[in-house]
Amino acid sequence: MAQTSFIHANQGILFAEDVSLETIANQFGTPTYIYSKNTLIQAFESFQKGLLKTNHLICFAVKANSNIAILNLFASLGAGFDIVSGGELERVLYAGGDPQKIVFSGVGKTVSEIEAALKANILCFNVESRSELLRIEAVASKINVKAPISIRVNPDVDAKTHPYISTGLKDNKFGVDFNQALALYLEAKGMSYIEIKGIDCHIGSQITELKPFVDALDRVLSLVDQLKKNNIHLSHVDIGGGIGICYQDESPPDFDIYTKAILNKIQNLDVKIIFEPGRALVGNAGVLLSKVEYLKQNDIKHFAIIDAAMNDLMRPTLYDAYHEIKIVREQDTKLQSFDVVGPVCESGDFIAKNRSLKLKENDLVCIMSTGAYGMSMSSNYNSRGRAAEVMVDRDKIFEIRAREKSSDLFKLEKKIPL
């Protein structure tokens, strides 16, 4: 997906769709996450375009952005959901998601999470270990239902992405070793409270090459053939997500090229194809609006201290990730190299380093491509309330999450008698 396109200049001022970013700052303050309703719709429909003649399900990866309004929008478009916790299950159901379009991934599913998912009648558990399979059967037998499962296979394929978001190698914690998967399927086949539905594979995130997806699918399909020979017939193949976006100069495959490559491999199978995109649908549909509090310099550095910090946007600190920064109102000031940093008391609190920018104190800045793993990874470190979230729909603005107040942060805490 192309870089954030709903942000554009009008007479030297940045707009989100038809709304000035200055208007949003005046009404909601900063830092504020801004999402484009029409960009979200366009992304989903573009992904789905090449799949309309196939038996498919697009399950949005909730961990990328779990705001209720965004989940509700995707549910209205017919999306399913890939969840990794009981909390995400509750969010999806509250947002109007169809439980029969939910797949439950993650390596550490608890007894209570499994029970809640079974009672909700979800589509499938993506099983990540033998121990988990045994636990799911035990919980299912306790409430006397059959648990629908697929096994998440680790194909040992290098996704060529950041090591923290690579999930398909042998030294990653995810999935069942490819060489152990057949035996686990055979064991599952003999379990009274387990119903085998499919097979799952997910090799990582922000993948910008087609080859890792194809290589992983080849391994998965070879296992599907082995399962057939053992009289195990699947109703779906879940190929995961992970397709990247353009943050700077990356060139991920277009959705149509990606889906065509997958369909060419899988067209002879009479199964539903499940995709689990996250970042690809929301990453470039969101930005983070912030204000310059101070400019500071020493002998070697110029710093722009903004009111957004690592607790608001963790990706630069965690992954050394790049996000483009744009000035909301054009300036005539001198172009200088800045480290753009936040107020959190950590040297690792930065948004960008060595960026050429024209800045003054109190300027508004727009941090691009933050719709994925921005708000969903935010925290209250340094007792900072999390940012507000708004969605624009042409010239309309909707507050979809109010800014946290200080009192919100300690309302669950209690003093003890002294």
The number of beta carbons lying within 10 Å of the beta carbon of residue 230 is 11
Rounded CA-CA distance 97/88 in Å is 11
- In 70-119, beta strands by DSSP E: 80-83, 102-104
> Poorest-confidence range of 31-35, 327-331, 366-370?
327-331
Cα separation, 317 vs 350, in Å, equals 6
Residues making up the annotated binding site for substrate are 279, 315, 319, 346, 373
Domain ranges of the chain: 7-36+283-409, 105-277
For residue 144, give the 3-state DSSP assignment: coil
Name the binding residues. Answer: 242, 276-279, 315, 319, 346, 373
Per-residue pLDDT tens digits for 241-281: 989 999 998 888 899 999 999 998 888 889 999 999 999 99
The per-residue pLDDT of the chain, averaged, comes to 93
* Overall fold of domain 105-277: TIM Barrel (3.20.20)
The answer to pTM > 0.75 is yes
Secondary element (H or E) of residue 264: helix 255-266
Buried-state track 100-119, b at ≥16 Cβ within 10 A, e below 16? ebbbbbbbebeeebbbbbbe
Condensed to tens digits (0 to 9), the pLDDT of residues 34-86 reads 999 999 999 999 999 989 889 999 999 999 999 999 999 999 999 999 999 99
Catalytic residues: 345
Most confident by average pLDDT, 161-165, 232-236, 252-256: 232-236
Closest C-alpha among 121, 87, 91, 115 to residue 103: 121
Annotated binding site for pyridoxal 5'-phosphate, which residues? 242, 276-279, 373
Domain 7-36+283-409 belongs in CATH node 2.40.37.10: yes
pLDDT at 216: 87
CA distance 104 to 127: 8
